[in-house]
Amino acid sequence: MSEATNCVFCKIIDGQIPSQKVYEDEDFIVIKDINPVAPVHLLAIYKKHVPTVGDLSIEDSKNMWRLFEIVKKITKEEGIESYRIVQNNGRDAGQEVDHIHFHIIAGRKLGHLG
């Protein structure tokens, strides 16, 4: 499903790089971020190698409903009431890995956006 040879998230999806996986379905894998910024810092990674929101097809966009179901499931199971979802596009926005993913951050009082 993932195809970019030099992409760290494609390698995680393919099992070539180990990760702490907390959830997986046909469209997403959820792992613990290797460099957490809060007590809870998960990455919901779209399995298909799509670099940014601007590269999503309509069909990809239609799969994004799963993200919210995943967030609902994980936060409910973990008893997380407050959390932030972050998704970066482009270098100035802080994107380091050019494979679309959503940060789920919780477990401490968070600062304001930006």
Residues that bind Zn ion (CB under 5 A): 4, 7, 9-10, 49, 99
Q: Two tokens at 11? A: 């390698």
Site string for ligand AMP, 1-40 (x = CB under 6 A): -------x--------x-x-----------x-xxx-----
Q: Residue 112, Cβ neighbours under 10 Å: how many?
A: 4
The pairing of strands 21-24 and 28-32 is: antiparallel
**How many whole angstroms separate alpha carbon 70 and alpha carbon 55?**
22
State yes or no: residue 89 binds ligand AMP (CB under 6 A).
no
The footprint of ligand AMP (CB under 6 A) covers: 8, 17, 19, 31, 33-35, 43, 88, 94-97
